[in-house]
Amino acid sequence: MRGPHNILRLIRTGATFERTGAMHSVLEAFEAPKPLRILARTLGWPFKWLGYKGDPAMPPETRALNALGPAYIKFGQVLSTRPDVVGKDLANQLRVLQDKLPPFSRAQALAEVEKELGRPASEIFSDFSDPVAAASIAQVHRATLAETGEDVAVKVLRPGIERAFNRDVDAFYFAARIVDLFAPSARRLKPMDVIEHFDGVVQGELDLRLESAAASEFAANTAKDEGFQLPEIRWAYSARRVMTMGWADGIPLGDNDALDAAGHDRRLLANRVLSLFLRHALRDGYFHADMHQGNLKVAANGDIIAYDFGIMGHIDEYTRRVYAEILYGFIKRDYKRVAEVHFEAGYVPANRDVDEFARALRAVGEPIFGMDASQISMGRLLNYLFEVTERFGMETRTELILLQRTMVVVEGVARSLDPHINIWEAARPVVEDYIKKSIGPRAVASDLLETAKVMARFGPRLPALVEQALIAQAAQNGAQNRSTGNWLAPAALGAAGGAAFFAAVALLI
């Protein structure tokens, strides 16, 4: 379906921003160059009539994103956590996209529950409230289980949400293809890979059985984390479009006035939310990848409660070590090592100059140290970092997209709690602890032990593997002998035998 009909969808996107009055403020928030602003307004005005009208009761920006659909709403949710990038006023306006969108009716939700669970709702719940939160994909109701009297949260997917998302993503694929064809300089960003990654994440979010499984795994990983809670999944009352979990009482993390009134230390909470994210990402390689204020509460005892597990991130051990070394290098202001790690991991082409790259990274990192968040223009910092990566030919790493995106969101949440937080100082203890455990003598010993375990599993197959290697090598040498003479055969066979011998020794070790 990724045909030219998507041109209309993309034109309608710009037209909707123009019609709702959001175009000017969005371009202003991103500090768009004057020529781009003029071009956008010039092209947007003639097609204004094609734009969606949206809800006039909403501010222009939220009105435009809400009218365009769930994929655009997801984008707005990320921006709502970054007042340092889009400005405080726009960030506050966009925050309603987290959990205060127009809900669908209670009757529709009950119909979905009965359809998915195969029982009358009255048999399952003795009480079922009106929506208490509504986001881009689903909404939540507070209910009471008839069998136990337990208060629970029931999450129900929006009717028709799958089709709406697929339509938006289809247009995004088309836009990515246009970028690939007509903007060669942007190909290093791998727009098609980025959209494919986004598509995969969204499809997983549209099956609440997968979300339930993610919540269960996350709970097992974090059971001993101090200051952190997760509601328990109720599997008997969950299905593809319905998920039931324990009710979490607490103050929304985005309500600073309520947090202050309850006596919570917002500076402590800011450090905690950042530390928890880094611990989960580095220690477990499995983290909550949608940690905006709408998905976090603060319990009466100060614990952070997380929910909404539709988007979870996973990174392998090698990538975690690379990421940790990069963070650690920035913390230590060792830009040469940061640059070397980029080259060692293949993030920067080998033909570039590592010293020059280190100097460019210094220009990114140095303005941060000795300054609190209120003095740093993160918008300009991100813009310069983008220029650096472009100049050195860095390609988008799709395996790091969720990690990078979540780091941006979590940093925004921490800043909203404590505008003066020093991100690097808050991150230092977690990163240093991971470095000690994962990049040192103990880590080497652990790696060797894991390697030995894997190799040991091949022990029973060793004779067959050696025989196959010898036969394959003999066949290859036979073909070479016909053209180069038979004198090479004994040497080749000896080499194959030597390789087999060393493989056997390695396995035995």
pLDDT single digits (tens) 367-384: 767 666 666 655 555 556
> Which residues are CB-contacts of 177 (< 8 A; sequence separation ≥ 6)?
2, 192
Lowest mean pLDDT among 49-53, 139-143, 438-442: 438-442
Question: In Å, how far are 126, 197, 308, 318, 468 from 313, measured between CA atoms?
Answer: 36, 11, 13, 15, 40
DSSP state of 129: E
Q: Which amino acid is at 206?
A: L
Say which residue, 221 or 23, is predicted with more confidence.
Answer: 221
Arithmetic mean of pLDDT over the chain: 79
CA–CA–CA angle 319, 320, 323 (5° rounding): 85
Higher pLDDT, 149 or 326: 149
Query: What would the mean pLDDT of 318-327 be, rounded to a whole number?
Result: 83
> How confident is the model over 195-223, as a mean pLDDT?
87
Best-predicted range by mean pLDDT among 162-166, 216-220, 293-297? 216-220
Mean pLDDT confidence for 110-116: 95
Q: Which residue has the higher pLDDT, 501 or 333?
A: 333
State residue 423's pLDDT score: 78
Lowest-confidence range among 159-173, 233-247, 462-476?
462-476
pLDDT above 70: residue 218: yes
* For residue 267, pLDDT beyond 90: yes
Give yes or no: 290 in active site: yes
Percent of the chain residues past pLDDT 70, beyond the cut: 72
Q: Is the pLDDT of residue 500 over 60?
A: no
Does the pLDDT value for residue 76 go beyond 50?
A: yes
pLDDT of 270 over the 90 cut: yes
Lowest mean pLDDT among 65-79, 157-171, 237-251, 280-294: 65-79
Residue entry with tokens 């925004």: 412
Report helix, strand or coil for 333.
Answer: coil
Most confident stretch, 9-23, 413-427, 454-468: 413-427
Query: Rounded CA gap, 164 and 141, in Å?
Result: 22
- Given a cut of 70, is residue 470 above it in pLDDT? yes
Quote the distance between the C-alpha of residue 362 and its chain's center: 26
CA distance 214 to 234: 13
DSSP string spanning 127-176? Answer: EEEEEEEE-SSEEEEEEEETTT--EEEEEEEPTTHHHHHHHHHHHHHHHH
Query: With helix as H, strand as E and coil as C, how does 355-391 read?
Result: HHHHHHHHHHHHHHCCCCHHHCCHHHHHHHHHHHHHH
pLDDT at residue 113, rounded to an integer: 95
Amino acid, single-letter form, for residue 500: A
Find the catalytic residue in 84, 99, 168, 290: 290
The three-state secondary structure class of 122 is: helix
495 versus 450: the higher-pLDDT residue is 450
Is-contact 81 293, C-beta < 8 A?
A: yes
Residue 134 has pLDDT above 60, yes or no: yes
Q: Is 415:83 a contact under the CB 8 Å cutoff?
A: yes
Alpha-carbon separation of residue 432 from 324, 330, 388, 442 (angstroms): 9, 12, 26, 15
pLDDT surpasses 90 at 228: yes
Residue 118 pLDDT greater than 90, yes or no: yes
- Residue 441 burial by Cβ neighbours in a 10 Å radius (0-12, 13-18, 19+): exposed
pLDDT at residue number 381: 58
pLDDT at 3: 60
Question: pLDDT for 392-410, tens place per residue?
Answer: 877 666 566 677 778 878 8
- Which pLDDT score, from 0 to 100, does residue 150 have? 95
137-173 pLDDT per residue, tens: 889 999 999 999 999 999 999 988 888 888 888 887 8
Question: For the chain, how big is the Rg over CA atoms in Å?
Answer: 27
Q: What is d(CA 127, CA 336) in angstroms, rounded to the nearest whole number?
A: 61
**Whole-angstrom distance, CA of residue 51 vs CA of residue 68:** 9
| Nearest of 377, 219, 341, 386 to residue 286 by alpha carbon | 219
Tell me the average pLDDT across 320-344.
85
Specify whether the CB–CB gap between 140 and 132 falls below 8 A. yes
Boundaries of every domain in the chain: 5-98, 102-135+137-247, 249-439, 451-508
**Could you tell me which residues are beta bridge partners of residue 314?**
286
